[in-house]
Structure 1
């Protein structure tokens, strides 16, 4: 794709896999059933865009601007969001597969993850305050040095984090998850 400004456009069922898409800007665009697996999004800006049923697995996000982006039904495996541009970084995820992705050092305040698979995702050093994890699977997700204040985990499963290594004031967890939060103490909880 040649460098250009794309505004108010819909991209449907297009295969961009393994392509370099640098120096483009997308404003208020919609991507439906597109394949971006292993694409290079370096230095692209997305503003107020929606991705529906797209595959972005292993895409390169170096200095990519992700501003008010909504992902629905997308496959986003192995993405390194930590390398993307932090300016106005804002996203929402619904029914997405984000396994093996990384959000290290990102400000994810008030972010929504709804019905998502977040297995082996690294959230180290992130600000997840006021975030919402609704019906998500967080198996082996890493939470170290995170701000989890007022984060809602109540309807999610398989999450575990050390309360002494994270800010947890007002964090909402389910009763069933208490064992995972006390894991390092090797307690027998009955």
Structure 2
């Protein structure tokens, strides 16, 4: 199903799936293998710990209140996947592909999504301070009601990307072209960016103090 302009297509994963109980408790002696497929299943509440693999496939999968500890899954593919109330802090998903994926009420401090491709992805009410989206290629992506202070979007590519009611203080957007991106409902004191990158960005008048330093302007309180 193709996404209409401005509309994000959600995962086709049904909410009721057969539970995959391999990781219902912390398991250190089981290893994910390169190119291992996980299809049409639900990971039950528990912990996935000490896993490192390349090109793992997750297709039509729900992660239900799963905590990830010391997990690196580079070049993984996530298709029709839901992360619900998960802890993904410091997880490494570099070079991954995410298509029709939802992160709902997730903790993702320092989550590494650098150089990923994101298509039809939603982050709903997530805590993502220090998350890394460096060089990510995003199209039809929404960040809603989340905390992304000090997140790193260095040279990310934005195409129909939405930021709604997010905390973005000290988020880094250097090299990320913000033309057409609406930040007016977000809160921040300062942003890391450049005048060139901010061309065409939508902001409230009172937010301009957060980028005044780019003009060499020093603001004084009354």
Q: TM-score range by the shorter chain?
A: 0.7 to 0.9
Alpha-carbon distance change, 174 to 37 in structure 1, aligned in 2, over 3 angstroms: farther
Q: Does 1:165 align with 2:183?
A: no
How many Å apart are 1:21 and its aligned residue?
A: 4.8
Give the distance between the partners of 2:208 and 2:125, measured in 1 at CA. 25
1:48 to 51, 75, 80: 80
1:12 to 36, 44, 48: 44
Aligned residue in 1 for 2:121:
91
How many Å apart are 1:82 and its aligned residue?
A: 1.3
Aligned residue in 2 for 1:24:
56
Residue deviations 1:89-125, cap 9 Å, x none? Answer: 5521011111112112222233210011111111111
Alpha-carbon distance change, 105 to 22 in structure 1, aligned in 2, over 3 angstroms: closer
Give the distance between the partners of 2:48 and 2:155, measured in 1 at CA. 32
Give the distance between the partners of 1:14 and 1:97, measured in 2 at CA. 20
Provide TM-score, normalisation by structure 2.
Answer: 0.75
Say which structure is richer in strand: 2
Alpha-carbon distance change, 130 to 172 in structure 1, aligned in 2, over 3 angstroms: farther
Q: Does 1:67 align with 2:102?
A: no
1:145–1:167: 8 Å Cα contact kept in structure 2? no
Give the distance between the partners of 1:2 and 1:38, measured in 2 at CA. 13
Aligned residue in 2 for 1:176:
206
CA RMSD of superposed structures (Å) = 2.2
Residue deviations 1:36-72, cap 9 Å, x none? Answer: 1321212332111010000111112233332221101
Give the distance between the partners of 1:129 and 1:23, measured in 2 at CA. 25
**Structure 1 consecutive aligned stretches of length 4 or more whose deviation exceeds 4 Å:** none
Aligned residue in 2 for 1:124:
154
Give the distance between the partners of 2:43 and 2:154, measured in 1 at CA. 34
Alpha-carbon distance change, 134 to 120 in structure 1, aligned in 2, over 3 angstroms: same
Give the distance between the partners of 2:180 and 2:99, measured in 1 at CA. 23
Give the distance between the partners of 1:63 and 1:188, measured in 2 at CA. 41
Number of residue-to-residue matches in the alignment: 187
Q: Does 1:137 align with 2:163?
A: no
1:146–1:165: 8 Å Cα contact kept in structure 2? no
